Structure 1
C-alpha cells in the first residue's frame, strides 16, 4: 500500500496543475477580444489596469469624455482633471468585487461646463494574465454621451461641424449643452449660458427660429438668427435639439436701408401723383430751367427756360430726344454725369457753362435727382438749374484779387523783386533740398555804398529810382530759373544761387559790379566813386542735416562787413580775401 502512495500523490499533483491551468485559461480573455467587444459599444467604456490605474483600452465615447489621446495601442489621459476623476472613481475598489453606483459631475469633451450624472460600474476581469477593471459609464439620459449621427464616422463629422462659420450647438432633452463646434466655443467663450436660447422648460417640437441682439467677442453689437431643430432617435423619441446661429447684422441693416429707400420713393411717387398739376404750374412760371427726361434721354417735360438752356428752337420739348438737340460730345458728358443718379438714386449738383439761343454764355448750377413715374415705374432725371453767372463773375474777381494780394505779399512794392518774407521761405526750401541733394548753396548780400548821402542830396524820389535801377541790374545778371533776387531791407539786397560753388558766386558778383558800372548812375557824394557802387559779401555752404540755414546768412553778412571795412566797392567771400571791384 505504501508503494502506491508516491504515485498517487504525483498523479493528484499533475491533475491539480492541469486543472488550474484549464481554469485560468477559461478566466483569461485576450486584449484583442476585449477591444473588439468594447469598440462596438456606444456608451463610454474602458479597460483600466488594477495595479496602476493606466488605461489599457478605451472606446471612442470614453476617449471623448475623458480627453484621452491615443498613439498606436497606447492610451494617455491629457487632462489633470480627467486623471483625478478616474483615480477618484477607482479609489478603494477591491478587486475582484464588482461595483455600481450613481456618480455626478461628469463633463463631455464637447463642453467642459455642462454637468452630467451617470451610473458608474466596474467589472473585474483577467486580460493577458493581469487583473483589470472594465469601467462603464451608463448615462441617466439616453442622449447624455451619445454622439450625434453615430452611424457616421465621428471624426469626419466633427471636422465638418468645426469647419462651419455658423455657431452649432447640441442640447439634450434637459436643455444642457452636449456638443458645440469651434465657432460656437470661440463666440461664446466665458459666457456659454448666453448661447443657449431655448431652455428645458419650453416645449420643443418641430423647428423654430428666433433673432436676438448680442455682442460678439470684439464687443460689437450683432444680430444672431438661431434655428433650432428637434433630434429624434430611431423610435421617433426626442433626445435633444440642434441649434445653428449665424450673424445677420449686415442683412438686417441692408433691409432697413432698403425699406427706408422704398418708403422714400413711395412718398415721392405719392407726392408727384398728388401735386402733378402744381408741378406743371411751377414749370411754366419758374424763370429757372426745370426739365425731366427718362433713362433713354427722351424729354418728358420742361419749361421754356429749360428749352432755351438746351438750345432748342422751340419751347415744347416733350417727346423730343436729346440726341436730336444736343452735340454728341455734350450728350456723352451728361450721360456720364447721370450714371449715379439713374443707377443709385443719388442727388448730384454741379456747374456748367451753357450757350443760349442768342449766342450768349450763361453759367448754370444744376441739381439732378432721380424720379420714378408712378404709372409705369419708369425712372429718369429731374433737372433744376439756376443762373449763377453773376456769382461766377464775382468769384473770379475775388480770385483775381486774392492772387494779386498774394503776389503783393511776396513782392517788394518799390523794386518789384521778392521781399524779405519771400526770401526767407525760398531759403528754407532750398536749404532742405540741398541737404537731400548734397549740392552747394551760395548767398550774396549786397549793400549800396553811401546810399544815405545819395538820398539826402538827390531826394527820396531819386533814391527810390536808384533802388529800382539797381534791382533791374540784378535781374539782368541773374537769369537762371531757380536763382532768386530779393530786397533784404533798405538799400540791402540778397541773391540766392542754388547748386553754385563759391567760385561761381564770385563770378556772379563780378558780373553785377560790371553791369552796375555800365549803368553809370551818378553819385557825386560817394567817397569811393563818382558813380553808384556796391559792397558784396559772398558765402557758400553744402548744407548738412541738423545744420541751421542761418549759418549761411551769418557767413555772408560777415563777408559783407569785411568788404565795407576794406573801403567799400569791394567783393569779399567767407573764405577768400577782399577783392576790389574792377
Structure 2
C-alpha cells in the first residue's frame, strides 16, 4: 500500500505513548514528547514508503525496458564493455544467428571494416554524454557473408546496473536497392530522352505538351521549352485532325496503346510524316493522367513507299497492257472477266461479251508490210476503246488480230447497238486495204452473246458463245454479224 510505512509507525508510536501513560504521570512535557515521537515515526514511515515506491518503479521500468528490448519490431542489441550483452529475436533473424552465437561478440564482428571509424566515433560520443546523434547508415555482414545495408540509432542506457549502449537497427537493403535501381532507371531515361533522335513527349489529357525531349529542335525546329504548354492540335495536318482527336477521346475511355502515322507541322511551316506510338498513363482508379508518345520521322520512308507504289502500279500497268496496241492484254482480260462475272452473278444482271476479228488481216499484213499491219492493229484498238463510253465497259486484245469487249449490265439489244457502232467507227477510219473493188478498206467481223450469270454456267461458256457467233459471221460474209440469231443460256 502507498502509506503502509507511515501508518504502521504512527500506530506503534501511539501504542508506546499509551503504555508509557500508565508508568508516568501525564503532563505537558510527556504530551510534547509523545507528539515528537509520533512526528519522528511519521517521517520514518514516509521515508520507508518512498523507498518502496522508487524500488517498485525501478523494477517496473526494468521490466518494461526488457519487454521493449525483447519484443521490439526492430532489431535491437545492447552493447556493454565492448561486447554484445543482449540481442532480440529480430536481430537474430537479421544476421541469421542464434542469441548464443551473438552474445559476447564485438559489434565490430558484424560491421564491415570501412565503417569501423564511424562506429568508434559514435561510441565515444555516447560515452561523453552526447545524446542527439541521429541515424547513420552502414553495412554489416551475416555469418553467410551476405552484406546488408542498415540504418542505426543509438542511445546510452543503464543495463543490469551498468552503463551500456542501446542500438536500434533498421534493414534498408531493399530500400537502397530500389533507390539504386530508380537512380539507374532515371539516368537511363535521361540519357535516352536527351540523346535519341526520336521525339519523346508527355501530354496532358487535353492534348497540351507537358514534356518534350531535346530532339524536337532537330525534328521540328522548335526548342522543347517552346512547345511545353502548347497544344498538339496546333501542329497537326488539318485533314488528320479528326483521326488524332478520335484516338485521344478513346484514350480517355479505355484505349491504352495506339500506333499511327500522321503529319506534323515544323517551325518553317512545312509538314513531315511521323509514326507515333502512344501509351496512356492512368491512376489507380483508371482515370487518364497523361499520354506518353514516341514519334519517329518517316518522311523518307513514306516517300520511298510512294515511289515503290508508283513503280508497282507502273509494273502492273505494263504487265496488264498489250505492248503493241496499248490496251489491256489477254491476262488482264481474264482477271476482269472473273471479277465482272462474280459481280453480275451476285446482282443477277445481264452480262454481254463481243468478240471482234479484223477481216483478212493476214492478206493486209502481207500486202502492206508488217509496219502497216502493226499500225492497223493500233488504230483499230484505239477506235474500239474510244467507242466505249461507260466506265465499266472494257476492251482488250485477245490475241493476234482478235479483240474482245466486256459489257457488264448490258442486255442483248444494248450489246447489238455497241457492236454496230464498233463496226461503223472502224469503217470510218477508211484505212486502205487491198486495192480491189470488193475490199477497199479495213473492216471487222463481230460475234456477241449475253447471259445472266448463274450456277449452271461459267464465264468460259459466255466467251464460247460469242466466239461461235464470230465464226458464223466470218463464214457467212465478212463485215457482218448475225443480229437475228441470239443465243440464250438458262
TM-score (norm 1): 0.46
SS at match of 2:441: coil
Query: 5 Å matches for 1:387-426?
Result: 387-426=297-336
- Number of the residue aligned with 2:231: 322
State which structure, 1 or 2, has the greater radius of gyration over its C-alpha atoms.
2
- Of residues 548, 558, 573, the one that matches 2:468 is 558
Residue 473 (1) aligns with residue 383 (2): yes
Distance 1:420 1:519 in 2: 25
Which structure's relative contact order is higher, taking Cα pairs within 8 Å and 6+ residues apart? 2
- Of residues 417, 437, 444, the one that matches 1:534 is 444
Q: Note the alpha carbon deviations across 1:410-463, whole angstroms, 9 max, x for none.
A: 332332323223333333444445555554433221111121232234333332
The answer as to whether partners of 1:300 and 1:317 remain within 8 angstroms in 2 is no
* Pair 413,466 (structure 1): closer, same or farther in 2 beyond 3 Å: same
- Of residues 354, 359, 362, the one that matches 1:449 is 359
Distance 1:338 1:271 in 2: 32
- Of residues 290, 306, 309, the one that matches 2:216 is 306
* Pair 528,552 (structure 1): closer, same or farther in 2 beyond 3 Å: farther
Gap regions ≥5 residues in structure 2: 1-176
The answer as to whether partners of 2:237 and 2:265 remain within 8 angstroms in 1 is no
Tell me the CA shift for residue 383 of structure 1: 2.4
SS at match of 1:482: coil
Tell me the CA shift for residue 279 of structure 1: 3.0
SS at match of 1:369: strand
The answer as to whether partners of 1:366 and 1:384 remain within 8 angstroms in 2 is yes
* Pair 479,403 (structure 1): closer, same or farther in 2 beyond 3 Å: same
- Of residues 293, 306, 309, the one that matches 1:383 is 293
- Of residues 418, 422, 425, the one that matches 1:515 is 425
Tell me the CA shift for residue 275 of structure 1: 3.2
Q: Note the alpha carbon deviations across 1:542-564, whole angstroms, 9 max, x for none.
A: 44431233333222222222222
Distance 1:440 1:515 in 2: 25
Query: 5 Å matches for 1:249-268?
Result: none
TM-score (norm 2): 0.53
SS at match of 1:384: strand
The number of residues matched between the two structures is 308
The answer as to whether partners of 1:536 and 1:571 remain within 8 angstroms in 2 is yes
Tell me the CA shift for residue 514 of structure 1: 1.7
Residue 494 (1) aligns with residue 376 (2): no
- Number of the residue aligned with 2:199: 289
More helix by share: 2
Gap regions ≥5 residues in structure 1: 1-266, 578-582
- Number of the residue aligned with 1:484: 394
- Of residues 475, 485, 490, the one that matches 1:575 is 485
Distance 1:332 1:451 in 2: 60
Q: Note the alpha carbon deviations across 1:70-125, whole angstroms, 9 max, x for none.
A: xxxxxxxxxxxxxxxxxxxxxxxxxxxxxxxxxxxxxxxxxxxxxxxxxxxxxxxx
More strand by share: 1
Distance 1:297 1:428 in 2: 50
Distance 2:458 2:281 in 1: 64
Q: Note the alpha carbon deviations across 1:458-486, whole angstroms, 9 max, x for none.
A: 33333222111101221232212332222
> Structure 1 stretch 537-546 or stretch 428-437: which is displaced more?
428-437
